[in-house]
Amino acid sequence: MTETNAYARAGVDIEAADTAIELMKGWVAKATRPEVIGGLGGFAGLFDASALTRYTRPLLATSTDGVGTKVAIAQAMDVHDTIGRDLVGMVVDDLVVCGAEPLFMTDYIATGRVVPERIAAIVKGIAEGCAEAGCALVGGETAEHPGLLAPDEYDVAGATTGVVEAERLLGPARVRPGDVVLAMEASGLHSNGYSLVRHVLLGSAADGGAGWALDRDVPELGRTLGEELLEPTRIYAKACLDLAARTGVHAMSHVTGGGLATNLERVMPVELAATIDRATWTPQPVFDLVRQVGSVSQPDLEATLNCGVGMVALLPADDVDTAVSVLAGHGVRAWVAGEVSASADRGGRVDLVGQHPGW
Q: How far is CA 235 from the centre of its chain?
A: 7
Q: Is residue 314 within 8 Å of residue 250, measured between CB atoms? A: yes
Rounded to 5 degrees, φ, ψ at 58 are -75, 130
Specify which residues 161 forms β-bridges with: 62, 104
Cα–Cα distance measured from residue 32 to residue 136, given in angstroms and rounded to the nearest whole number: 4
Burial class (CB in 10 A: 0-12, 13-18, 19+), 166: exposed
Cα–Cα distance measured from residue 149 to residue 263, given in angstroms and rounded to the nearest whole number: 32
At residue 37, the pLDDT reads 82
Element (DSSP H or E) covering residue 335: strand 334-342
Rounded to 5 degrees, φ, ψ at 107 are -130, 160
Write down the number of H helices and E strands in the chain: 12, 14
Cα–Cα distance measured from residue 40 to residue 215, given in angstroms and rounded to the nearest whole number: 37
Rounded to 5 degrees, φ, ψ at 65 are -170, 180
- One pLDDT digit (tens) per residue for the chain, 359 residues: 455 665 555 555 556 656 656 655 665 667 677 778 876 666 788 888 998 999 999 999 999 999 999 999 999 999 999 999 999 999 999 999 999 999 999 999 999 999 989 999 999 999 999 999 999 999 888 999 999 999 999 999 999 999 999 999 999 999 999 999 999 999 999 999 999 999 999 999 999 999 999 999 999 999 999 999 999 999 999 999 999 999 999 999 999 999 999 999 999 999 999 999 999 999 999 999 999 999 999 999 999 999 999 999 999 999 999 999 999 999 999 999 999 999 878 878 999 999 999 99
Q: For residue 214, give the amino acid letter.
A: L
Q: What is the mean pLDDT of the chain?
A: 92
Predicted TM-score (pTM) of this structure = 0.91
Rounded to 5 degrees, φ, ψ at 156 are -130, 150
